[in-house]
Amino acid sequence: MDLLSFCDDLFYNLAEKIAGLAEVKLFELQDIRSVYSLLNTEDVFGILSVLCSELRDIRRLVCFEADNYTYTVKPGCHGSIRYLYKLLQREHEEHQKTRWYSSFPTTTEYCYLSRVKFAD
């Protein structure tokens, strides 16, 4: 199965196994529904700085609240998402390399093409 094509439940199940349930809830809240959606999200935690009652529950789940009512993302949550991101980024880079290398002719094709005479 191609990890890079995972979306919706497949993506959320993968993310939960690697990062955790709280992290998946943060993704769901932001409509991050696929691998490429995550890879193209600049700051997964940026939404937590928005003062909005809808974000209260997720903020409590993934952050510490200081006595002055400021929030700090829990290091474990931050690390889990960073790990998942790096894993998926590496998978994407490997996929790109494979696609790039496969665009070149094989040795057999190259030998054949080098013997073919093209009309001027």
Pick from 45, 29, 36, 28: nearest CA to 81: 45
Asked whether residue 36 is assigned to any structural domain, the reply reads yes
Q: State the residue range of the domain holding 92.
A: 3-45+76-115
Asked whether residue 97 is assigned to any structural domain, the reply reads yes
Asked whether residue 67 is assigned to any structural domain, the reply reads no
- What's the domain count of the chain? 1
Q: Helices 75-102 and 8-18 sit at what angle, rounded to 10 degrees?
A: 120
Q: Using one digit for the tens of pLDDT, what is the confidence trace for 60-114?
A: 999 999 999 899 999 999 999 999 999 999 999 998 887 655 555 555 555 555 5
Asked whether residue 7 is assigned to any structural domain, the reply reads yes
Looking at the chain, the whole-number percentage of residues with pLDDT higher than 90 is 72
